[in-house]
Amino acid sequence: MTEEQTVQLLQDLVRRQTDSGDHAAQEALQGFVADLVAASARNVRVRRSGPGEYPWTLLTAGAGDGPVLLFACHVDTVPVGEPARWSQAPFAARIADGRLYGRGSTDMKGGLAAAVAALLEADRLGRNVGLLMTADEEIGSLGAPDAAAGLAGLDLGAVIIPEATQNRIVLGHRGALWLRVTAEGLAAHGSTPERGVNAALKLADVLVRAGKELPLGADGFLGPETWNLGTFSSGTAPNIVPDAAEAVIDMRIAGEGTTLLQWWQSQPEISGVDVLLALPALRSSVDGIEALAAVEVDSSPAPYFTDGAVLAQAAPGVPVLVWGPGSPAQMHAVDEFLELTALEDASRMFRALVGRWS
């Protein structure tokens, strides 16, 4: 696949809207990629998700008699938000000033395009390389467990997650613990609040206290644990004392997150704590992988989480590395773009890696 064809592929991918939760659109994009590869490759095998599973597609090249280098890419994107805020049409995939604009260009359809180029190179050279496409990563890696199960029987040598790392290998990231915490109160007329119990104020007290008391830890490589109030909802009308309140908390964790969960559960104002997402931290290494010796390794972790947290659990001991084109600053941004030089560099580096893989 030439550089021009890789750019054209990225344009085709960006023009297909694949919001998280839209499984039909994500499955269609996976099918589009599989058909494109099948039309160009000599011997690529295809494995697809079964009924009732989150859509996933696995493409594998090579003779299958050695360890497989796997590229794992999610195909969903976050929503555009308010289109009027964009100066470029979000799905036009317009190229200007050396940049390709559009939702998903950096996160992570650019990485997918470069991985497709690598897979076709593997087919040409007869290398054992795979491409796994997953769904709904952006809303908690929901499709990764089904996709990971689809890897059964595959001898994995290494996994590359082509998220935006400015084309440097990143060896891990923090995990994620998302909680829904609720408080209960007593409804009353807004003119006599003393007759009720305001659930919103109860929950607000806990949130203020969390900023001072939440037992956040730190890790020498992954950095400090953090928490964020993502959503808060309460009340039905201005003149009613709210009898229920709910908040969703996003915590990025270096450990198991048990003490953080217990802190929320122990607060007297809290009536319920539900775990919405629990992804472990990812830590990996390039030790012993000679094919990666020439690639720059970043000393910092990725700020975001990836499907790698799930895939690493499914393949214990297999290096899972985050490495792809683009800047993390462009992920989820208005006027998201990918520098074409970054795409070209990723495609070249991935194809070179395939050439060294044995």
Q: Which of 107, 121, 123, 137 is catalytic?
A: 137
Q: Which of 76, 121, 336, 339 is catalytic?
A: 76
HSE-CB for 244 with a 13 A CA cutoff: 6
CA distances from 78 to 24, 106, 138, 332 (A): 16, 12, 6, 6
- Distance, first Cα to last Cα, the chain: 21
Dihedral class, residue 52 (left if φ above 0, else alpha if ψ from -120 to 50, else beta) = left
Closest CA to 303 of 326, 329, 279, 324: 329
Closest CA to 346 of 299, 289, 291, 295: 295
Question: Are 31 and 57 spatial neighbours (Cβ–Cβ below 8 Å)?
Answer: yes
- For residue 345, the SS3 value is helix
HSE-CB for 342 with a 13 A CA cutoff: 27
Closest CA to 14 of 88, 138, 98, 105: 105
Number of Cβ within a 10 Å radius of residue 82: 8
DSSP letters, 66-106, are SPEEEEEEE--B-----GGG-SS-TTS--EETTEEESTTII
Annotated catalytic, 137?
yes
**What positions carry a catalytic annotation?**
76, 137
